[in-house]
């Protein structure tokens, strides 16, 4: 009788101690933030993501850890939004042109050609009430917006020189998954092809598409200068990012760890936005130095001609983005669509 009781007691003690052990292990295991993105490490976004990881990992005292997966290593465009919603990754920084497929098409206002004259105009939107309102639209999708990170202003590239609107006619060009960008390309008589960023180099190399548009930092770090003859400095539109996190994960983070992330994100955002302009200027210089792609500036008159054709996209896309929202952006930035 005693022996049976002792065995029973022993079993209870054993399962109790293994329960304590599992809990202790669970307490020790760091919270992991998988941060996936599609660009090279040596870009404004790549550098800011690494800086963010460094800060969290230094300050997290082993309780929280950020793992960065660059260059579409983990997920490519078209997969990563799904991955964050499923919780397979916790953090992403997709370009603002990639929120349409998620059902938040208002972000495509950032794709409207020529809408921002410079970074200062853009920041009046991203750092103001409009930027915050846009982030609220992500919440029902299970996503929380944390910050806006800059990249830069896009240039057109192709194997043909595209200085005037007529030069574009009939070309096939890769775009991101944005209806506004589709309409921009159609306004130029281009056949747009939505394609994941990771596939662009090969598509240019094999002639699946004739050209594309990108800020110089993406163009250079993806080696597009090896497979494109011309890069025209059109600066006709903006490309930047929203840093987003899985809402359930975010809401469940213990307050002390969340504070570490918030502070690191603020610092990395300042860093990202401080380096973006120079990174793009340096990449333009690197493209020139490569001697492979000819970098062609536009005169003010040539740029106006392009603007005259592309500005129509604003009206055309009112139904998608909202006429009111577009007007509010104009008001915030002082942009006048009638001034060419």
What residues line the site for ligand LMR (CB under 6 A)?
Answer: 38-39, 77, 95, 151, 176, 197, 214, 218
Indicate the residue among 57 and 280 with the shorter CB distance to ligand LMR: 280
Give how far Cα 92 sits from Cα of 80, 82, 310, Å: 8, 11, 30
Q: Provide the minimum distance between the beta carbon of 14 and ligand LMR in the complex, in angstroms, as a whole number.
A: 52
Q: Provide the minimum distance between the beta carbon of 68 and ligand LMR in the complex, in angstroms, as a whole number.
A: 14
Indicate the residue among 151 and 183 with the shorter CB distance to ligand LMR: 151
Residue nearest to ligand LMR (CB): 95
Q: Provide the minimum distance between the beta carbon of 241 and ligand LMR in the complex, in angstroms, as a whole number.
A: 7
Q: Provide the minimum distance between the beta carbon of 50 and ligand LMR in the complex, in angstroms, as a whole number.
A: 15
Q: Encode the chain in three state secondary structure.
A: CHHHHHHHHHHHHHHHHHHHHHHHHHHHCCEEEEEECCCCCCCHHHHHHHHHHHHHHHHCCCCEEEEEECCCCCCCCCCHHHHHHHCCCCEECCEHHHCHHHCCHHHHHHHCCCCCCCHHHHHHHHCCHHHHHHHHCCHHHCEEEEEEEEEEECEEEECCCCCCHHHHCCCEEEECCCHHHHHHHHHCCCEEEECCHHHHHHHHHHCCCCEEEECHHHHHHCCHHHCCCEEEECCCCEEEEEEEEEHHHHHHCCHHHHHHHHHHHHHHHHHHHHHHHHHHHHHHHHHHHHCCCEEEECCHHHHHHHHHHHCHHHHHCHHHHCHHHHHHHHHHHCCCCCCC
Indicate the residue among 224 and 257 with the shorter CB distance to ligand LMR: 224
Indicate the residue among 77 and 279 with the shorter CB distance to ligand LMR: 77
Indicate the residue among 213 and 253 with the shorter CB distance to ligand LMR: 213
Q: Provide the minimum distance between the beta carbon of 125 and ligand LMR in the complex, in angstroms, as a whole number.
A: 18
Indicate the residue among 39 and 109 with the shorter CB distance to ligand LMR: 39
Indicate the residue among 57 and 71 with the shorter CB distance to ligand LMR: 71
C-beta separation of 142 from 246 below 8 A = yes
Q: Provide the minimum distance between the beta carbon of 213 and ligand LMR in the complex, in angstroms, as a whole number.
A: 8
| Interatomic CA distance for residues 94 and 45, integer angstroms | 10
Indicate the residue among 38 and 245 with the shorter CB distance to ligand LMR: 38
Q: Provide the minimum distance between the beta carbon of 192 and ligand LMR in the complex, in angstroms, as a whole number.
A: 13
Q: Provide the minimum distance between the beta carbon of 334 and ligand LMR in the complex, in angstroms, as a whole number.
A: 27
């Amino acid at each position: 009788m005693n022996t049976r009781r002792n065995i029973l007691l022993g079993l209870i003690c054993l399962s109790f101690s293994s329960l304590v052990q599992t809990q202790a292990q669970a307490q020790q295991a760091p919270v992991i933030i998988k941060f996936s993105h599609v660009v090279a490490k040596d870009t404004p976004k790549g550098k800011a993501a690494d800086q963010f990881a460094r800060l969290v990992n230094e300050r997290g005292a082993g309780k929280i850890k950020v793992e960065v997966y660059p260059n579409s290593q983990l997920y490519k465009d078209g997969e990563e939004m799904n991955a964050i919603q499923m919780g397979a990754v916790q953090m992403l920084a997709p370009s603002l042109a990639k929120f349409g497929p998620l059902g938040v098409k208002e972000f495509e206002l950032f794709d409207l050609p020529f809408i921002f004259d410079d970074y200062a105009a853009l920041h009046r939107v991203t750092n103001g009430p409009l930027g915050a309102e846009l982030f609220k639209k992500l919440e029902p999708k299970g996503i929380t917006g944390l910050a806006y990170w800059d990249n830069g202003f896009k240039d057109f590239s192709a194997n043909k020189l595209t200085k005037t609107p007529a030069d574009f006619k009939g070309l096939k060009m890769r775009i991101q998954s944005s209806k506004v960008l589709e309409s921009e390309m159609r306004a130029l008589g281009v056949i747009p092809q939505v394609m994941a960023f990771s596939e662009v180099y090969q598509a240019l190399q094999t002639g699946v598409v004739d050209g594309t548009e990108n800020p110089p930092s993406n163009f250079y770090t993806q080696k597009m200068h090896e497979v494109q003859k011309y890069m025209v400095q059109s600066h006709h539109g903006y490309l930047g990012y929203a840093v987003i996190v899985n809402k359930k994960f975010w809401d469940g983070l213990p307050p002390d760890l969340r504070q570490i992330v918030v502070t690191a994100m603020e610092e990395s955002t300042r860093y990202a936005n401080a380096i973006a302009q120079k990174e793009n200027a340096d990449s333009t210089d690197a493209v020139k130095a490569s001697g492979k792609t000819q970098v062609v500036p536009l005169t003010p008159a040539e740029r106006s001609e392009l603007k005259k054709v592309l500005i129509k996209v604003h009206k055309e896309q009112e139904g998608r983005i909202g006429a009111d929202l577009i007007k509010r952006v104009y008001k915030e930035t002082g942009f006048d669509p009638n001034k060419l």
